[in-house]
Structure 1
């Protein structure tokens, strides 16, 4: 029996052949587009090769420069700064432990002597080193003891430490300087900062007591009472605990 195609109708084989041709054409177009893109990329790379190599070279030089700086500048500078700090640190330690002539020892620590750098010199000459950071702390404490309170604050504010004790002492010392300047609100803020820095048996009861005194001076009796209560509860064996009741009595007597 004869078969025929209706007008406008293509047999299955013809249709598949046409579809295959279309797919091949599309694939060819895609590959042609990719080839053109690759050619353009290659052309751009060729045209900008000097620039690309320059960027790569600059990055490499920056990395090598940083490594060289750390190895040949920063590390030797840290060692030199630490050696320089040893001399004024001796005067500072003597001043802390002295029972007399403390002021002259603190001044020697600050200024240096016999051609050696003092603490203030080290903070400038070796800025950014660990030794300079410690010098800021020692200089601040020295100036605080010499009653140069604004200068002490300026030095101590440049000191930073994650150490539980030293970091808290620095913040508390700034509070002490503000108390001496009769800026009690600022003092209380720094005592609170010292308390927030760490919780330990050495600095915490000390600054709880100082915060309580500052709070009383500001008329913040409830806050003062909470500080005193914390001393009695958490640090019953601390020296500050012995004076806690007296401070409470003084505070209650002002009612």
Structure 2
């Protein structure tokens, strides 16, 4: 056996001894840290179970009528309630830390946009937190259009292009690209607009915008 092999067990024993000594010397500190972590976990679980979940349930119930009003085109009632049921503005403000409350922010922003209150719509749409390929990107698209209405076209284009690329699906992307193309036309950027119209035709040939001939009309107009 080599000298190195003989020394290895001794060095390992020494290391183990040092570890044990550290634990013994810092027992109170380690126990305190572990206890603090346990208390934080328990507090989080308690908050989620007994506060957040009940609030989310309440917000979900309140959202039912608000969403029905939105889908029926009753945007004022969807936003501010009907005298009996809460509107999305109040739901977002009161339950904004819940999933349902977060969704209420999107609906509130969309209702405000429908009423051409773009500045306030931006506040609610900006506050919405989502990253899925459909809802979150549609909200971002709406946010971009709100910025366009306030005169910030460059920010609008940036947001809507990001929504188009993040979504990468027929339900969202063609509509985003169409709106950006229209903004490019307004800026006199005809080549960029044509490129986006042609991209829609190439990548989303079964999209309703293509099937109804809208993109061809826009393309011919741009050229």
Instruction: Return the TM-score normalized by structure 2.
Output: 0.81
- Asked if 2 retains the 8 angstrom alpha-carbon contact of 1:185 and 1:214, the reply is no
8 Å Cα contact 2:165-2:173 kept in structure 1: no
Distance of 2:29 and 2:137 partners within structure 1? 52
Give the paired residue count.
Answer: 212
Matched, 1:178 2:147: yes
**Matched residue, 1:195:** 164
2:205 and 2:118 map into 1 onto residues whose CA distance is 32
> 1:52 Cα deviation (Å)?
4.9
Q: Report how far residue 234 of structure 1 moved.
A: 2.4
Aligned to 2:216: 245
Aligned equivalents of 1:93, 1:41: Cα separation in 2: 68
Whether contact under 8 Å (1:201, 1:235) holds in the other structure is: yes
**Structure 1 residues 51-60 or 172-181, which shifts more?**
51-60
2:65 to 51, 67, 87: 87
Shift of 1:142: 0.3
Unaligned runs of 5+ residues in structure 2 are: 1-6
Mean Cα displacement is larger for which, 147-156 or 201-210? 201-210
Q: Indicate how the Cα distance of structure 1 residues 62 and 237 shifts in structure 2: closer, same or farther if over 3 A, else same.
A: closer
How far apart, in 2, do the equivalents of 1:90 and 1:244 lie? 32
The residue correspondences of 1:1-255 to structure 2 (distance < 5 A) are 41=21, 45=24, 52-95=30-73, 105-241=74-210, 242-252=213-223
1:63 to 1:217, Cα distance in 2 relative to 1, 3 A: same
Distance 1:49 1:142, change over 3 A: same
Which residue in 1 is equivalent to 2:4? Answer: none
CA distance in 1, matches of 2:30, 2:137: 51
Report the alpha carbon displacement of residue 181 of structure 1 after superposing the two structures with TM: 2.2
Residues 168-204 of structure 1 show CA distances to partners (whole Å, capped at 9, x for unaligned) of 2111111221222232222211220121121222222
Cα deviation 1:62-116 (Å, max 9, x = unaligned): 2222222222222222212211222322211221xxxxxxxxx211111113343
Structure 1 residues without counterparts, runs of 5 or longer: 1-26, 96-104
Measure the CA separation in 2 of the matches of 1:74 and 1:210. Answer: 38
